[in-house]
Amino acid sequence: MSNSLYIAAVEPASGKSLIVLGITELISHRINKLGFFRPVIRSGDVPDNDIELIRSQYSLQTPYDSHYAVTYEHALDLSSSGREQELLKLIVAKYKQLEKQCDFIICEGTDFSGISSAFEFNFNALVANHLGCPVLIAGSGHGKTPDETLDVMHAAHRAFAREHCTIAASVINRVAPEDLAETKQLLQTDWSEEDPVFAIPERSELAVPTIGEIAKSLNARVLYSDPEKLMSEALSYKIAAMHLPNFLNHIEQGSLVIAPGDRADIILGCVATTFSANYPKISGLVLTGGFEPAPQVKRLIDGFARAPVPILLVESDTHATSMHIDSIRAVIAPNNQRKIATALGAFESHVDLDALVKRIEVTRSDAVTPLMFEYQLITRAKANRQHIVLPEGTEERILLASEILLRRDVAQLTLLGNEEKIRSKIATLGIDLAGITIIDPLHSQHRSRFAELFTEIRSHKGMTLEVAADMMLDVNYFGTMMVLEELADGMVSGSAHTTTQTIRPAFQIIKTRKSCSTASSVLFMCLEDRVLVYGDCAINPNPDAQQLADIAIASADTALMFGIDPLVAMLSYSTGQSGHGEDVDRVTEATRIARASRPDLKIEGPIQYDAAIDASVASTKLPDSEVAGRATVFIFPDLNTGNNTYKAVQRSAGALAVGPVLQGLRRPVNDLSRGCTVADIVNTVAITAVQAYMMRQKT
């Protein structure tokens, strides 16, 4: 069984980085210690983009220098002087050092940079054999017909086979979308299931550089820009040589405009297009010749609340600048989550992951790292795509997360809010949310019906139709009604609202399940090698015995829902019969109720935290317990204890805290922290989607 894979491109510009990223994502959640290795990199002075990408995305702790053997310059020097064996020994020695620290290593071959294709192919085949790695062949369909693409792949297969390489699989990237169906049909007839070849369509946004990459390559000064707009792709570039009225006819969506810095008309015209519905939105503006905009123009731009479009300044002239931009190579940069999401979405949508895993034969680890847990969330959500409503449609983090969710095809999304404001914010952020549904509660056809239903639901509280109609303008109430009426499968809110504002509508409208009288929450605490469930850390301040029992049962069910074997510890300051008092008695009674209600669950209590998690302590305090020392679900006696404990573990142990996840409701509604990150939102939407699907399976 192999513990490595060598990804070898057979030609330049194959989009190898997308394949490397997709393979790494696939493997990373199946093993504990992942390694990434490049036998040769371009330069020792400039960090290799793919090494930095994988180290950053997958939190690899090994030093940068351990991820490569030699530079191109060093490799050519050794090979040209007849010292190929010395070169191979260097590569193997460096690889073996990394191998000692890893369960699986992904090796990425050379880049076809200024060296002959024949040399690169022979070199990659030789290195793969010396490292004992099966090979994944990375090909490209760019600029080829389907027949031409397959001819190249057949030739590559024959060539690697002649070198006695073990071929795990092949991936053809950058296939023209209009040729994808024909290419896949040809693959079905030409290749057997034992020798799989997958085809991925060209994604234009991956083939072009971002504004930030262009700025870096040009050594440009950024005069105006928000950080997120530097991540926008320059889909094309336009040289502004005409007068403004004529030039406006040539602007295209996402184009980068290049113009002398003293062309005030072009500068103001380009800025104006970002506010106009009548012209495409450009991605940026490069001012050449070292001319800064006139003071009056700068004053006008400075008056905007935020930069309407990135504006860069370079010293070179317009012609030289355009030639330089035309030569810039697009990359999937470590800090560009939009491109990363796009690449992963393309790979996961067009590659049979199960078939590929069987070919690679990755050994699974019992450990569950934070990365594995997040991957499993996304994978499960994608497998059973649900419809999630996001009430905070004008919140920037929600919009940025939505783009990632859509690019990875995690869920169908609906945003709530004023459509004009949301569309304006989307344009300002420079993101792509094409096809997303936006509903303005003020103008929605559902508002009157929602008001009538809410009046019925809250009639015992004296609710009137007029008041209900006004309350339906609240996006959280409107979104909750969508979930109740099955116009959405779940809701996520809270990035700009308090917990009360988010969950009160759920308690009033959706209410708890018949089998659970207490709504509560859990946090998934992702430690270095396992995931624990903490409840309740967000909802119930001082639960009584019945409520604690409800929380324990609901938390165990949530753990099961997410693939965690529930071993439930009912926490207290006392273990077993060692202590007495009102607080201990409450936990003792809660344990009795929970065991009686769910005899299928393994529940221990009262028990101290150390006895619940540490096997050596458990062997002394509760030696015969099935839970002590092995607990996976921790039920805290009150909110004060739970909230403080999870934050202490999060900060001191460096744990990833995912949640809180609400439980006990009839349909899923989840609350975000107002300090949440974009990644937090993505995870919470995925969790909500999984909850929605699992709840539907039980009804």
Q: What CATH number is given to the structural domain containing 557?
A: 3.40.50.10750
Residue 469 near residue 451 (C-beta atoms within 8 A): yes
Q: Which two tokens stand for residue 534?
A: 């903490």
For the record, the structure tokens of 473 come out as 């303008």
Mean pLDDT calculated for residue range 568-581: 84
Domain of 312, in residue numbers: 211-326
DSSP state of 45: S
**pLDDT-derived band of residue 574, with 50, 70 and 90 as boundaries?**
confident
> Is residue 168 domain-shared with residue 45, that is, in the same domain?
yes
Q: Does residue 685 lie within any of the structural domains?
A: no
Q: Nearest 10 degrees: CA dihedral of 271, 272, 277, 282?
A: -20
In the numeric block, the tokens 């006696």 are attached to 637
For residue 116, pLDDT beyond 60: no
Q: Which of 483, 510, 537 is the last residue of a domain?
A: 510
Residue at 198 is within a domain: yes
Say which range, 246-250, 437-441, 477-481, has the weakest mean pLDDT: 246-250
Q: Which two tokens stand for residue 589?
A: 């009674």
CA–CA gap between residue 183 and residue 638 (Å, rounded): 60
The SS3 of residue 46 is coil
pLDDT over threshold 70, residue 114: no
Q: Which residues pair with 533 in a beta bridge?
A: 524, 633
Distance separating alpha carbons of residues 195 and 519, to the nearest angstrom: 51
Q: Of all residues in the chain, what percent carry a pLDDT higher than 70?
A: 96
Express each pLDDT in 508-552 by its tens digit: 998 888 877 888 999 999 887 788 999 888 888 999 999 999 999
Per-residue pLDDT tens over the stretch 633-674:
999 999 999 999 998 988 888 788 888 899 988 999 999 988
Whether omega before 543 lies within 30 degrees of 0, making that bond cis, reads no
Residue 294, number of CB atoms within 10 A of its CB:
13
Tens digit of each residue's pLDDT (9 = 90 or more) over 150-192:
998 888 888 888 877 888 889 999 999 999 999 888 888 777 6
| Domain-embedded: residue 41 | yes
Where residue 101 sits, what CATH number does that domain have? 3.40.50.300
Q: Are residues 38 and 180 in the same domain?
A: yes
Q: Is 134 exposed, middle or buried (0-12, 13-18, 19+ CB in 10 A)?
A: middle
State the amino acid at position 164 in one-letter form.
Answer: H
> Under a CB-based contact definition with an 8 Å cutoff, are residues 508 and 481 in contact?
no
Left, alpha or beta for 187 (phi > 0: left; psi -120 to 50: alpha)?
alpha
Tell whether 312 is covered by a domain: yes
Q: Is residue 680 part of a domain?
A: no
Q: Using the predicted structure, report yes or no on whether residue 478 has a pLDDT greater than 90.
A: yes
What pLDDT sits at residue 194?
Answer: 64
Q: Which residue has the higher pLDDT, 445 or 358?
A: 445
Q: What is the CATH number of the domain that holds 480?
A: 3.40.50.10950
**Which of 465, 520, 463, 497 has the alpha carbon at shortest distance from 394?**
497
Lowest mean pLDDT among 310-319, 358-367, 464-473, 594-603: 358-367
Rounded to two decimals, the pTM is 0.72
Alpha-carbon distance of 455 to 658, in angstroms, equals 35
Q: Which of 371, 251, 246 is nearest to 309 (CA)?
A: 251
Q: Do 436 and 488 share a structural domain?
A: yes
**Within this chain, do residues 502 and 543 fall inside the same structural domain, yes or no?**
no
> 615 to each of 190, 619, 655, how far by Cα in Å?
56, 6, 20
pLDDT of residue 117: 55
3-state secondary structure of 671: strand
d(CA 238, CA 285): 10
Q: For the CA atoms of the chain, what is the radius of gyration?
A: 29
The residue whose two tokens read 């969330």 is 377
Q: Are residues 93 and 36 in the same domain?
A: yes
pLDDT at residue number 200:
93
User: Do 376 and 394 belong to one domain?
Assistant: yes
Residue ending a domain, among 464, 491, 510, is 510
For residues 86 and 93, give the distance between their C-alpha atoms in angstroms, rounded to a whole number.
11
Residue 233 has pLDDT above 90, yes or no: no
Report whether 409 contacts 387 (CB < 8 A): no
Residue 343 φ/ψ region, left for φ over 0, alpha for ψ in the -120 to 50 degree band, beta for the rest: alpha
Same domain, 378 and 490: yes
* Residue ranges in 132-203 assigned as alpha helix (H): 146-162, 180-190
Same domain, 590 and 646: yes
In the prediction, which pLDDT does 1 show?
44
The stretch 104-126 carries a mean pLDDT of 75
Q: Would you say residue 677 lies in a domain? A: no
Average pLDDT for 617-630: 89
Which of 83-87, 329-333, 394-398 bottoms out in mean pLDDT, i.e. has the lowest? 83-87
230-263 as b/e: b if 16+ CB within 10 A: bbbbbbebbbbeeebeebbeebeebbbbbbbbeb
Cα distance between residue 338 and residue 168, in whole Å: 29
pLDDT band of 567, cuts 50, 70, 90: very high
Whether the Cβ atoms of residue 307 and residue 275 lie closer than 8 Å to each other: no
How far is Cα 289 from Cα 581, in angstroms, rounded to an integer?
Answer: 80
Q: Whole-angstrom Cα distance, residue 636 to residue 656?
A: 19
Share of the chain above pLDDT 90, in %: 44
Using DSSP, state whether 233 is helix, strand or coil: strand
Which stretch, 114-128, 233-247, 385-399, has highest mean pLDDT?
385-399
Please report the sign of the dihedral spanned by the C-alpha atoms of residue 543, residue 547, residue 548, residue 550.
negative
Q: Which amino acid does the sequence have at 298?
A: K
Q: How far apart are CA 460 and CA 64, in angstroms?
A: 65
Same domain, 378 and 353: no
> Tens digit of pLDDT for each residue in 239-257?
988 888 899 888 888 899 9
At which residue do the structure tokens 């990459």 appear? 213
Burial of 475 (0-12, 13-18, 19+ CB in 10 A): buried
- Mean pLDDT for the stretch of residues 580-599: 91
- What average pLDDT score do residues 358-382 get? 72
What crossing angle do the helices spanning 264-273 and 295-302 adopt, rounded to 10°?
10
First-residue to last-residue Cα distance in the chain: 42
Q: What is the mean pLDDT of residues 104-112?
A: 87
Question: Residue 336's closest CA among 407, 436, 423?
Answer: 407
| Residue at 690: amino acid letter | V
Asked whether residue 236 carries a pLDDT value surpassing 50, the answer given is yes
In a domain, 686, yes or no: no
Q: Is the pLDDT of residue 602 over 50?
A: yes
DSSP one-letter string for 443-471: G-TTHHHHHHHHHHHTGGGT--HHHHHHH
Domain co-membership, 490 together with 557: no
Is the model's pLDDT at 276 over the cut of 70?
Answer: yes
Q: How many domains does the chain have?
A: 4
Does one domain contain both 181 and 99?
yes
Residue 80 has pLDDT above 70, yes or no: yes
Provide the strand spans (E) within 12-84: 34-41, 68-71
The predicted pLDDT at position 278 comes to 87
Predicted local distance difference test score (pLDDT) of residue 259: 92
- Indicate whether 143 and 75 sit together in one domain: yes
Given this model, what pLDDT does residue 374 score?
78
Is residue 48 predicted with pLDDT exceeding 80?
yes
Task: Say if 676 falls within a structural domain.
Answer: no
* Entry field: residues in the chain: 699
